Amino acid sequence: MNELLRLGLSFSLCFFIFTFNASAKLVVANSKDTILQNYHRADKVKATKKEALIRVKLTDFRKNGLGGIPIWAHNRQGQYWHGITDAAGELFFLLPNNAKYVLNVDQEENYRKFSIPKKAKLSKTVKVVLMTTRIKEMDTNDTITQQLTAGMMPTRSRALVNIKIMDLEGRPLANEVVYYESQQSAKVYRTVTNKQGRSTLMIPKGDRYCIHTYAHQNISCKDYEDNPHSRTSRFELKMISTAEFKKRALERAALLAQRDEWRRQQRIRDSLAVTRLQYQNFYLQHRYDKKAYATIEASIKELVQKDQAALQANQNYYTDAGEDIKSMFQRNKGRWKQKRIIANIDCSMYRYIDELMVWNYANEAERNNNRYWLFNGFNYEGGTAEGHQRRGIFAVPENTVTGFFNTIDKIVNFSCRGSRLENVVEALLLGAEGKTPEEDLLFIADNYSDVSDLHKLKALTVPVHVLLTDAEKGLNENYLEIAYHTGGSIHTRSTDISTQQLRALTNGDRLEIGKFSYTFFHGKFLKRT
């Protein structure tokens, strides 16, 4: 169960049919003994000479109308009239007069008695306050779903929890799944909000429960003491809807597919024309033409000289030229002295290793004071054994062209096969082992790839400064979350978001990054359109 929660609380929605005596009457609705009369105020039904118009008004103990509740009226002869209350809790029956009747309300049988005198064109209101303690539960793999009547009351052993979920503007959120996780039994009580954003649970007392939603874990933890007094608890939450988070995930996947196809075409062109290229081809030179390391190093140093001349003329040269890695390091060159740099190497990231090596050779301190790890975090689906061996994080033994390329050879994969969910936190944990206080942990991330192991963030106790590539169409919120939870920072080609800026955020705040806005809520971010 805990594993399912860590994976984003992504349970399958199952529908169960709960059978009880009253609902059995509905099954025979087409028989001669059961009459379907689903009349409401808009139908403008009127009493007749032999039939009285009975208005049933169903409320809870706070006098709130209870809508959507099935009601049966039956007489001593075994005849049934059936309908469902409207949003105001009203239902109208046309019933023969000069008779006694009993109402079955939802699961409650023989709940209210009334009689109709022998009087023509009689109209009468029968008020019913629904208060019940009956619970129908289904336990599947330690996940408990409940069938509760709207008029539920707390009991000696169970607390009644009234749940209300709203968006950040205060509008009700329907179909939001809420989980109450027991800390003693590890069972999870699951409920779904209605159109009004409301739901209820009856949870056993004498336990502590932590509350989760699809996107947010441990929103709050509450104790429900075991005492003889009845208890009604209220839980209200303003949040970003599950639908919004799922929509953003689909948008990122679509952008990833577009980018990967563009990069695939680019790699084909590069491999065919590698000898004519003068930049961002260093690893391709090594891979396809087997160029000597000395030749590649000379080309890098030549490019360093060109960069330095361009920077003298324009301090924003790297940003204007669209060079992500160089821009971020140039802008922050006085901020990080000793660095542990973990770089994501996959089918789309080799070009940034070229930028990284050029930056290294531009500054002697960069070569002497920094250590590098290269990371390939693909979750291969049916990949070969060789492909699986390429997964992982590898230390670069020496900060040279030879050291980089020999390490890249172990893990690089240009095919873009498999899922693009990556074990980023796992790589950061490995890269942080043995880190000294003087070192800063930097992660060069592929903005388009989602993170598969965000549930491990609690174990990451060092600040992570995230350098995001390809962020022109908006930042991947997974990396904002990593920077926020670790006390790190976020950097793109043109923008720096400091630790102080992230720490100052409160629920509902909007973080402006470039032309995009991100809503913050309980440690998570969502790009707004």
Q: What is the DSSP string of 341-375?
A: EEEE-STTTHHHHHHHHHHHHH-HHHHHHEEEEEE
One domain for residues 237 and 249: no
Do 146 and 118 reside in the same domain of the chain?
no
Q: 303 with 411, same domain?
A: yes
Cβ contacts of 338 within 8 Å, gap of 6 or more: 369, 370, 436, 438, 439, 440
In terms of DSSP bridges, do strands 51-59 and 370-376 run parallel, antiparallel, or are they unpaired?
A: unpaired
Determine the Cα–Cα distance for residues 106 and 29; give it in Å rounded to an integer: 15
Backbone phi and psi for residue 324, each to the nearest 5 degrees, phi listed first: -65, -55
- Looking at the structure, do residues 254 and 289 belong to the same domain, yes or no? yes
Residue 102's CATH number: 2.60.40.10
Strand partners, 412: none
**Contact between residue 95 and residue 101 where contact means Cβ atoms under 8 Å apart:** yes
Note whether 506 and 420 are same-domain residues.
Answer: yes
Predicted pLDDT at 18: 30
The SS3 assignment for 40 reads coil
The closest alpha carbon to 195, from 215, 212, 175, belongs to 175
- Among the candidates 109, 129, 149, a domain finishes at 129
Task: State the Cα–Cα distance between residues 274 and 281, nearest whole angstrom.
Answer: 7
Cα of first residue to Cα of last residue in the chain, in angstroms, is 35
| Mean pLDDT within 160-173 | 92
Residues 298 and 335 in one domain: yes
Which tokens in the block code for residue 66? 């209870």
Residues 220, 347 share a domain: no
| pLDDT above 50 for 7 | no
- pLDDT at residue 263 tops 80: no
Token pair listed for 249: 């995930």
**Considering Cα of 264, then 268, then 274, then 278, what sign does the dihedral take?**
negative
Q: Give tens-digit pLDDT for 280-296.
A: 566 666 665 666 778 88
Give which of 364, 308, 314, 342 is closest to 467, Cα–Cα: 342
Paired tokens of 468 = 């995001």
* Co-location of 522 and 402 in the same domain: yes
Q: Tell whether 140 and 167 lie within a shared domain.
A: yes
Q: What is the pLDDT of residues 102-138, one digit of tens each?
A: 999 988 889 999 999 999 999 999 999 998 888 889 9
Structural domain count of the chain: 3
Q: Do 124 and 210 fall within a single domain?
A: no
Domain boundary among 241, 271, 288: 241
- The last residue of one of the domains, among 241, 273, 306, is 241
Residue 272 confidence class, pLDDT cut points 50, 70, 90: very low
Give the separation between CA 314 and CA 322, rounded to whole angstroms.
14
What's the mean per-residue pLDDT of the chain?
82
Query: Is 452:423 a contact under the CB 8 Å cutoff?
Result: yes
What are the backbone dihedrals phi and psi of residue 90, each rounded to the nearest 5 degrees, phi first?
A: -105, 150
CA distance 178 to 172: 14
On the 0-12 / 13-18 / 19+ scale of CB atoms within 10 A, 309 is: exposed
Three-state secondary-structure class, residue 459: helix
Closest CA relative to residue 36, chosen from 93, 117, 115: 93
Residues 419 and 511 in one domain: yes
Write down the pLDDT at residue 303: 87
The domain spanning residue 191 has which CATH number? 2.60.40.1120
Given a cut of 80, whether residue 2 has pLDDT beyond it is: no
80-84, 190-194, 344-348: which range is least confident on average? 344-348
Do residues 336 and 477 both lie within one domain?
A: yes
For 350, phi then psi, to 5°, come to: -60, -30
409: enclosing H helix or E strand: helix 401-411
Q: Give the domain extent around 53.
A: 21-129
The confidence score (pLDDT) of residue 74 equals 95
**What distance lies between CA 44 and its chain's CA centroid?**
47
Task: Note the pLDDT tens digit of each residue in 206-229.
Answer: 999 999 998 888 888 999 999 888
